[in-house]
Amino acid sequence: MRQAPPTPRRGRLMGRGRAAPVRTCVGCRVRTVKSDLLRLVAVEGVIVPDPRGRLPGRGAHLHPDPECLALAERRRAFPRAFRLPGPLDAGPLRERLAALAARQQDGRMVSDV
């Protein structure tokens, strides 16, 4: 009796052969490894970055790139992702992504997303 081939795993293989979780960016809609994305949470109508992934509530994931943020805002993706009515304030998120982009242009390593 022949054995069936193993099912391919999703995500990038990690150190011990384990697959990493895969999430979709709400801006560009590209599926990628969760560790490459920034988790976001809506707190009282404001989109707040959650780099440690510990804040309560429904989360959405975004590449830490101002272009993906612009795409998500243009597509009105945040209210759908958070399942909340109305527009959400992305000001603090926009400032944080602009600061990260400025640090990357300076040539410094970005360790905290």
Q: Note whether 100 and 67 are within 8 A (CB).
A: no
Look at residue 7 in the predicted model and tell me its pLDDT: 46
Beta carbons of 49 and 42 less than 8 angstroms apart: no
Look up residue 67 and give its two tokens: 């272009």
The pLDDT assigned to 70 comes to 96
3-state class of 7 per DSSP?
coil
Residue whose tokens read 């707040």? 48
Distance CA 66, CA 27 (A): 10
pLDDT by residue (tens digit) across 76-111?
A: 999 999 999 988 999 999 999 999 888 888 876 555
* Neighbour count for residue 100 (Cβ, 10 Å): 18
Cα–Cα distances in angstroms (integers) from residue 111 to residues 21, 36, 100, in the given order: 20, 12, 10
With 0.85 as the threshold, say if the pTM is over it: no
Mean local confidence (pLDDT), 64-74: 95
* pLDDT tens string 30-62: 999 999 999 999 999 999 999 999 999 999 999
Amino acid identity, position 7: T
Virtual CA dihedral for 91, 92, 96, 99, nearest 10 degrees? 60
What pLDDT does residue 32 have? 96
